[in-house]
Amino acid sequence: MKLDLFHDPTLDAMGAYMSRLTQRYQVVASNLANIETPGYRTKDVSFHATMQELLSDSMDLRAHRPEHKEKWIPSAPRAQVFEVQGLNSRPDQNNVDLDREMMKISETTFGYSLITQLLRGKFRTIGLSINEGKTQ
pTM of the model: 0.71
Which of 53, 32, 11 shows the shortest CA–CA distance to 108?
Answer: 32
Average pLDDT, consecutive stretches of 10 residues, N- to C-terminus, the chain (136 residues): 65 84 95 97 79 55 52 59 94 97 96 92 83 67
What are the beta bridge partners of residue 81? Answer: 45
| Residue 76 to residue 11: CA distance in whole angstroms | 12
Distance CA 31, CA 134 (A): 52
